Amino acid sequence: MHKEGKVSGKVEWHGRSGQLCRSVAPFKFHGTAKLAGTAQLTPSGVTGTGTAQASGKTSGGSTGANDCAAPRTRIPPTKPAEPVTHPAAEPTKPEPPGKTKPKPGDVGKPATAGPKPTKPTTPTAPVGPKPEELDKPVEPPAEAPENVFGYEKPVLGCFEGQVFPLAPDTQKLPSDYAALKAVSVLYACEWDIPPRAWDKGFPGVAERFEWFAIRYAGSFRIANAGEYAFRVSSDDGAKVTIDGKLVVDGDGQHPPKVATGKVRLGAGDHQMVLEYFQGPRFEINLQLWVTPPGKPEELFTVR
């Protein structure tokens, strides 16, 4: 048995790649492919020969290298935040702010335990953004967040802060975040919390007013290479790490205190981690400034 014939076909496709980079338009690709050839069916099998041609075009997309905004690169060292819930009620959970004002002689001492909290009647809802919110972060709002430590929803280009509970009387920032479990997530575009007493609008973080740490991670872009100076004011400890190098070390349990550091940076994107911890509730303070080469000091921001 021997038979010969010709076959031909036409294939059309349409594709969409998504966004090339943040803030630029998507592009589309349209194309056509044509196939032609012959096939032979013999007792030993089928053989075939042929040719193929394809053509296409693209539209949209970036018009230049400068169209791309700073990437939203997440910094790995700690594992990504999983859906988290509040920790179980602790027998020494403090009273909400405003109920008991600390005495002057109590500053520096651990807070006394308040009344034993009641057990919730309904399960606590998960804390943190939903997957669809992570995929579509909002543009940085014009107004400041209600909680001075950051927004509750993901903000494009801003730093993600994971909140970790600490044991009472903690003296320093954690050395291993992988051993801790985050209880909440915040998003900060800058840090400007001047020193103030805890009972004057102290923002609770995951229902906590003391003994917690926040680890902010994100990236920022600079146009000019040179030596940059960073200054942090904090109560209690704070550290700034850029591209894996510790630049500012203000760690430790202490009243409002300033720490400084300098680093030489090249033009482009850089990864930064800002760590902060709140010890006893008496005071709060977290501010970060930067001095670019040849310019005056300014508040650090990625808006």
Instruction: For residues 53 and 156, state if they share a domain.
Output: no
Q: Which two tokens stand for residue 301?
A: 């921001």
Residue 291 has pLDDT above 50, yes or no: yes
Own/partner pairs, 147-151, CB within 8 angstroms, 24+ separation: 147/186, 147/203, 147/204, 147/205, 148/193, 148/203, 149/186, 149/188, 149/193, 149/203, 149/205, 149/214, 149/286, 150/186, 150/187, 150/188, 150/216, 151/186, 151/187, 151/188
- State whether 25 and 139 are in the same domain: no
**Domain co-membership, 216 together with 112:** yes
High-pLDDT (> 90) share of the chain, %: 43
Q: What is the pLDDT of residues 16-40, one digit of tens each?
A: 333 334 433 444 445 554 556 665 6
Across the range 12-19, mean pLDDT stands at: 38
Whether 44 and 143 map to the same domain: the answer is no
Instruction: Please indicate, yes or no, whether residues 294 and 145 belong to a single structural domain of this protein.
Output: yes
Strand runs labelled E in 17-155: 27-42, 45-60
133 shares its domain with 206:
yes
Q: What are 161-195's pLDDT values in tens digits?
A: 999 999 999 999 999 999 999 999 999 999 999 99
Looking at the structure, tell me whether residues 33 and 179 fall in a common domain.
no
In this structure, are 40 and 139 located in the same domain? no
Question: How many structural domains comprise the chain?
Answer: 2
Locate 102 and state its tokens: 């600390």
* Closest C-alpha among 202, 183, 190, 153 to residue 287: 190
Above 90 in pLDDT, residue 63? no
**Which has more confidence, 205 or 297?**
297
269 in Cβ contact with 279 (< 8 Å): no
Residue 80 lies in a domain: no
184 in a domain, yes or no?
yes
Give the helix ranges, DSSP H, for the chain: 131-135
For residues 136 and 243, membership in a common domain is answered with yes
Give a yes or no: residue 76 inside a domain: no
CATH code for the domain in which residue 213 is found: 2.60.120.1560
| Domain match, 15 and 138 both | no
**Average pLDDT value for residue range 262-278:** 96
Residue 16, domain extent:
3-62
Per-residue pLDDT tens over the stretch 204-231:
676 778 899 999 999 999 999 999 999 9
In a domain, 77, yes or no: no
Residues 261, 142 share a domain:
yes
Q: Is residue 34 part of a domain?
A: yes
Residue 275's nearest CA partner among 232, 205, 216 is 216
- Bigger pLDDT: 144 vs 104: 144
- Looking at residue 78, its pLDDT comes to 47
Domain-embedded: residue 99: no
Q: In this structure, are 219 and 157 located in the same domain?
A: yes
Query: Would residue 170 count as lying in a domain?
Result: yes
More confident position, 232 or 204: 232
Token pair recorded at residue 209: 């007013």
Residue 41 pLDDT: 58
Phi, psi of 131 (to 5 degrees): -55, -40
pLDDT of residue 128: 65
In this structure, is residue 286 part of a structural domain? Answer: yes
